[in-house]
Amino acid sequence: MLDRITNILVVGIGGQGVMTAAEMLARTAMSQGYDVKKTEVAGMAQRGGVVSSHVRFGPKVYSPQIDAGEADLLIGFEAAEALRWLPWLRPIGVAMVNTLRIAPPIVSAGLYDYPADPIGALATFGIEAHAFDAGAIADELGNAKLVNTIMLGAISDCLPFPADALKACIVEGFRAYKPKLAEINAQAFDAGRQAGHA
């Protein structure tokens, strides 16, 4: 049992499954006996706006908010969003990043300049960062909506509970509500887990 709080920040663009991924992490942590707090912030209500979710768990958690410099894990569903949230990651934290690049509405609104090379910029910070194309893996498996399961698989060996616990939570969820998708999500999780070690 973990005796300290684990802080996970999940970020991306609306419609990518950021909130679903955060919910899966929270449910799995609860199933492992942790106290869990979670919050979501959707920068714009419509699909395509920036989205972030904070997940915190440990023996006792009082606030769902992760402060800058305190995230143990940063899961970036979109490259520039991962870079934008990098100040929230601990110096010894891990960033798992999808190489997908989508300019959110805050760029066209002039509120944020999209970086020329977000993945390259991540590498200059000296943190442990793993970047891969989760969308390409999803396409190989035949379903573009598998990206969030792939990203969860990729980060699963960095969690303080067994990767199989997270996989079981995801697969059981699909078995209950969309049984036809259970097996493909199990495959997506395994493919993401492999990509996270590449």
Per-residue pLDDT of the chain (198 residues; tens, 9 = 90+): 467 899 999 999 888 889 999 999 999 999 999 999 999 876 554 556 788 999 999 999 999 999 999 999 999 999 999 999 999 999 999 999 999 888 777 677 777 788 888 988 888 888 899 999 999 999 999 999 999 999 999 999 999 999 999 999 999 999 998 999 999 999 999 999 999 987
Report the pLDDT value the prediction gives residue 45, as an integer from 0 to 100. 44
Tell me if 32 sits within 8 A of 165, measured CB to CB.
Answer: yes
**Full-model pTM:** 0.92
Report the pLDDT value the prediction gives residue 14, as an integer from 0 to 100. 82
- Beta-carbon contacts of 88 under 8 Å, excluding residues fewer than 6 positions away, are 9, 66, 67, 68, 69, 70, 71, 74
Tokens representing 18?
């950021």
Sorted by where each starts, the structural domains of the chain and their CATH numbers stand as 6-113+120-195 (3.40.920.10)
Tokens representing 112?
């944020």
Q: Which helix (H) or strand (E) holds 30?
A: helix 18-31
